[in-house]
A and B are shown apart, each in its own frame.
Chain A
Amino acid sequence: MDASSNALLLQLAIATPLLVALAIGLGLPKRFATKLAAIAFIWPAIIAVWLWKQFPTDAGNAYQFLSKVDTGLGGFGIALKLGLNGVSLPMFMLAAIVGLAAGIYALRSNAERLKIYLMLLLVMQGGLLGTFASVDIFFFYFFHELALIPTFIMVGIWGGRDRNYAAMKMTIYLTVGAMLSLIGLIAIYTKSGAESFDLVTLRAELAANPLSVTAQKYIFGLLMFGFGTLVSLWPLHTWAPLGYGAAPSSAAMLHAGVLKKFGLYGLIQIALPLLPAGAQAWAWPLAVLAAVGNVLVIGFVTIAQRDLKQMLGYSSVMHMGYCFLGIATLSVIGTGGVVLLMVAHGLSVALLFLLATSVHHRTHTFDMAEMGGLAQKTPVLAAFFVAGTMASIGLPGFANFWGELTVFVSLWQFSPALTAVAIAGVVISAIYGLRAAARVFFGPSTEHLNTVLAKHPAVDLAWSERLPALILLVALLVVGFWPKTISTAANAALTAPAPAVVRNVSSR
């Protein structure tokens, strides 16, 4: 296939979920709706794998599969420009694969008003794919918001306990974050003089004529706190555990797994290369916030959780700390490690959210104190859960291991003290992870559980749960055993040729 057909495929991958969502919104009968939705979940995943195979090894940080559509704001340098580089390709694949798993899971769920549920999920999926395939930073933001809005609605309608409060809180926090980052992006556009939101043009322009250090500092600050709120940087994280606790499982999978990576991705693709001096000025504050706040404080908070879903929410906030630390090192190894870690965390947290819901279906509770001994009744579920927990802790063999390892290696050059804090985080996550697995699946079962199981005997994972879990687990193992799938392209993009990195700790 030639370049233009690949570009077309990329467009189709994004357009299909959105068009199917539109068709469902216009009143497609349920029978067709579910079938079309299934196609719209599978199709982007196939395209993602195909594009990954087509991706040239010598691409550097150049974008491939490029296409451009003027939507009417060409005068402002805004155009729908799509393409993938070494950093966005792994994220695009992550979105496609987690989207596929969440979609299969949603299709077989018995959600009330399934059609609207699927429609929102498809909008989310289309938005996510568009976010990571956008070369134009305006559309990058735009697609993110497109994916974000359905989350609020899904939490508000299908959410669990406290859904109204959770939806409201998420909406307000994430709007604040999004507005701050939008102003940051407008500031880059206006100050650069490039008259374009195109990332390639902006990079070239700002590499030749960097902004003043003061301007870089305040714009980076805007982006850091804006994106930071979206990623749940401590202390702006409080929406996340609450939101994930209340969100329906497919939405939580896509949001925690993929959408939350938007901010990290934005820092790596936009903030670091365009504002290197700003990044240098903010590196230490960012690292301290991440290490002390996200890793240490939230780590202890996670240990104290009794609610399984809340615990996963907090653990996700904690793991974002590693990602921020990797970014704060401003090194190729660190940021490359973050790309790996983003993919790994996305897959593992989606897997765990899915399994937590499966546990809830069988035990009718999220309270871990009321569970126990489920492994005897549901061995496959237990096996998946333990595997997911191991991945999340960073056991070798899973993708997370490589991500964390590279982040720690680069962090050592930055600050040995913070590395010690970060490694203490691994112990903390082992404590809560293993304890959760032990409480839920092993030991004697509680009275509550016995009553529930007497009424509804537990069955092991159904295929509709097993298949998406398997997809995620296999992806975790593939990257775990063969991290080159991601790291080669990502490192090439981060190393060459623009100085994406300020502190060259890691050219070796």
Chain B
Amino acid sequence: MSTELLQAAAESNQWAAIFPELILACAALGLLALEIVLPKSQHRYIPTTAAMALLAVLVGLIRNFDTAWMNRDTFAGLLHHNLPGQVARVFFTVSSLLVCSIASVVLPRSKMPRVEFYAIVLVITAAMMLLVQSNHFVMFFVALETITIGFYILVSYFRDNALTLEAGLKYLVTGALSSAIMLFGIVMLYGAVGRVEAGGVVHTGFEFDVVADFLAKNPDNFLGILGALLVLSGVGFKIGAFPFQIWIPDVYQGAPTPVTAFLAVGSKAAGFAVLLTLVHNVFAPLQNILVPVLSTLAAATLLFGNISALSQRNTKRLMGLSGISHAGFLLLGVTASITVPWASGAVWFYLFTYMFASMAVFGVMAHLAGDDDTQQDLDGYDRLAKDRPFLAAVLAIGVGSLAGIPPLAGFMGKLLVFMAAFEAKLYTLLAIAIVCVVISIYYYFGWIKAAWFETWRPEGETPAPVPATEPSLINTALLASLALVTVLLGFFQQPLSAWLLNR
């Protein structure tokens, strides 16, 4: 970056455009300060403060939803604000709020310092928001690395648990590798595109528009194509697409449950938001290459995720591996969106339904985890329906929605993605996806079976009661609303579809 860019950025510093991100960043710093200022007995209010900050941002975002800074560049083109970006901001705020609620169950039990956790969650959330609005590869990479580094800390948060430390190390090594690959890709693009021009703002090979323009004029440029593929590989790591999914099972199991939820929902959604931007804006001219590459990735991801989840008994690994399969379904939607414009709305619809269902499931898991957060097996769900009917019901709705069983929201997500794929004529991929839905029924159903069916044993031994944390009033309300939204969205999609699908 040259001085001209900085100067131009300073002149166009429309801080108001990133007000939500600023609030979150300030709140994160504020939390750290509060820890020093407040007496220890008052520290329990710190998580509440974090949640209040997120809630305030959420309300602000919803109130100014369609008007603020729409379709404008700010900060000298570092950021671009549009409707998908706004949708993503709302998504990240909601998912982080839910992560905080899960953390409020898990952290006190493990007697770990709490303040840093919430501060990091806020920073990551702000970085995710900036990531999806970035319009420049430097902004893009800085935001992405902020997220990744935050996750390095969060994943190994339970530092006295061997599995957690292993997870942290694995995430660090694979994450660093993926960052390196992505950076290499960005550099290649810069090398292919980069030039210095006079006259006002300096255009470089880092700006999305410039890169897209170059690729449109030189669609056969080897460096450009290679750079694009390497950047996409880096994104593939975030979303857990084959062959970059290798870290997922161990990291998901080892990470504390709220972090697993954050990785599964927030980080994955950020990856997909970026992927959509890249595919539609930056690499759009490479359509002929992207469709086969993404289709192959989607097929491999679907098959790997589902087949490997079949024999899984640890629920956190199961969520990880089934999450890979969801990445496959979403990739199917992204591939379709290259030729069918409304499909990116369908991808977002899927992400929202996935968030509601996953968070409900992780919420239940957090309440059922024993002393060792990493050991959550299906055997622990015996008698759940008898002992904790509420948690069992929320679990069944969440898992049912993840499996895509109508009339739950997950089914509508899958339906829209399938319709898009059909319209895009991705028939082979669609056939693979259908096979995968059937495979997924097996392991999801096994989970529901463990929670509900085993309860009615005809005779013989009765297993020990499920050790569970009693859900607090707020968490009960949150879990109930997640379940309710998941059911309602299956019947009545008006509120979400009007917003996302534009049809």
Contact = CB atoms under 8 A, between A and B. Distances in A.
Q: Do A and B come from one complex?
A: yes
Nearest to B498: A72
Interface in B267-309: none
Contacts of B492: 71-72
A156 B492 CA distance: 29
Interface in A44-79: 70-73, 75-76
Contacts of A168: 442, 445, 449
A186 interface: yes
A157 B456 contact: yes
A164 B491 contact: no
A183 B434 contact: yes
B407 A145 contact: yes
Contacts of B19: none
Nearest to A158: B456
13 contacts: A70-B494, A71-B491, A72-B495, A72-B498, A73-B497, A76-B419, A153-B452, A156-B452, A163-B453, A164-B453, A168-B445, A171-B441, A179-B434
Nearest to A149: B405
B493 A72 contact: yes
Contact of A112 (B430, B438, B441, B456): B456
A142 interface: yes
B190 to A, nearest CB: 41
3 A-B pairs with least C-beta separation: A75-B503, A72-B494, A72-B493
A146 interface: yes
Nearest to A142: B406
Contacts of A158: 456
B66 interface: no
Interface in B136-175: none
A466 to B, nearest CB: 29
Contacts of A183: 418, 422, 430, 434
Interface residues of B, number: 37
B418 A164 contact: no
B357 to A, nearest CB: 15
Which among A72, A163, A164, A176 has the highest number of chain B CB atoms within 10 Å? A72
Interface of B: 342, 393, 400, 405-407, 411-412, 415-416, 418-419, 422-423, 430, 434, 437-438, 441-442, 445, 449, 452-453, 455-456, 491-498, 501-503
A107 interface: no
Interface string A164-182: 1001100110011001101
A141 B495 CA distance: 23
Given A72-B495, A145-B411, A171-B445, 14 more contacts: A72-B498, A73-B493, A75-B342, A75-B497, A142-B406, A156-B453, A157-B455, A164-B449, A168-B442, A168-B445, A172-B441, A179-B434, A179-B438, A183-B422
A187 B421 CA distance: 11
A163 to B, nearest CB: 8
Interface in A109-163: 112, 141-142, 145-146, 149, 152-153, 156-158, 163
A187 B452 contact: no
A146 B491 CA distance: 11
A172 B438 contact: yes
Interface of A: 25, 70-73, 75-76, 112, 141-142, 145-146, 149, 152-153, 156-158, 163-164, 167-168, 171-172, 175-176, 179-180, 182-183, 186-187, 189-190
B438 A176 contact: yes
A156 B438 CA distance: 18
Nearest to A22: B487
A71 B493 CA distance: 6
Q: Could you say which of B449, B496, B502 has the most chain A C-beta atoms within 10 Å of its C-beta?
A: B449
Contacts of A112: 456
Contacts of B502: 75
Nearest to B445: A171
A157 B452 contact: yes
B437 A190 contact: no
Nearest to B455: A157
A108 to B, nearest CB: 21
A146 B406 contact: yes
A190 B406 CA distance: 21
B398 to A, nearest CB: 15
Contacts of A182: 415, 418
Contacts of B430: 183
Nearest to B406: A145
Given A76-B503, A190-B422, A172 B442 contact: yes
Contact of B449 (A156, A179, A189): A156
Contacts of B400: 149
Nearest to A25: B393
A167 B446 CA distance: 10
A186 B502 CA distance: 20
Contacts of A167: 445, 449, 453
Contacts of A171: 441, 445
Nearest to B489: A72
A412 to B, nearest CB: 39
